[in-house]
Copies of this chain bind each other. A is one copy, B any other.
Amino acid sequence: MQARARRAAPEARRGLTPRPSAGQNAPVDFHFETEVRVRFAETDAQGIAHNSVYLVWFEVTRIDYLARFRGGYPGLRADGIEALTIEANVRYLTPARFDDRLTIRARCGELRGARFRFDYAVEREGEAIADGWTRHACVDAATHRPTRVPGWLADEISAAES
């Protein structure tokens, strides 16, 4: 975590990592990246980062991504909106190890109504470690009924990704 968030360097933007999901193999063009450091508690007895931890890193990345806009994710929650994760996918390409400094690139897209999607690429000094994507739905925090992604956020994301 802790996210020295910044716009990706031009080289990075070329984003050649293929997308894992069927039917969407266009290369992802990442405009955002953050960093995580593999914690000792995140390793397992195979000596590598546990497979479940990548979903935590993806979440840290989403929160860093959104932190650039207004109140970010805490602001969304303060507005009474929760973003639920409705699907997640990870491809583990090369094990990550304790103390590795990982760059996680992210892109948000496919905003339609209550739904949106994030794509991720995890790298260690240019080497592909993992990639993945998550799909989300905004719900009213009180009723848990679907609610549209707020217009201000859709606009911010659209501007950031264009």
Contact = CB atoms under 8 A, between A and B. Distances in A.
A52 B46 contact: no
A44 B72 CA distance: 18
The 7 closest A-B CB pairs, nearest first, are A2-B2, A22-B22, A52-B55, A43-B45, A51-B85, A1-B1, A41-B56
A82 B98 CA distance: 13
Interface stretch (A86-94, A110-118, A120-128, A153-161): A86-94
A50 interface: yes
A95 interface: yes
Interface of A: 1-4, 20-23, 35-37, 39-41, 43-48, 50-53, 55-56, 59-60, 63, 72-74, 77, 82, 84-92, 95, 97-99, 134, 144
A52 B41 contact: yes
Contacts of A91: 86-87
B1 A39 contact: yes
A37 B2 contact: yes
Contacts of A20: 87
26 contacts: A1-B36, A2-B2, A2-B4, A3-B37, A20-B87, A22-B22, A22-B23, A39-B56, A40-B50, A43-B44, A43-B45, A44-B45, A45-B47, A45-B97, A46-B84, A51-B59, A51-B85, A51-B88, A52-B53, A74-B98, A87-B91, A87-B92, A88-B88, A88-B90, A89-B90, A95-B144
A53 B51 CA distance: 10
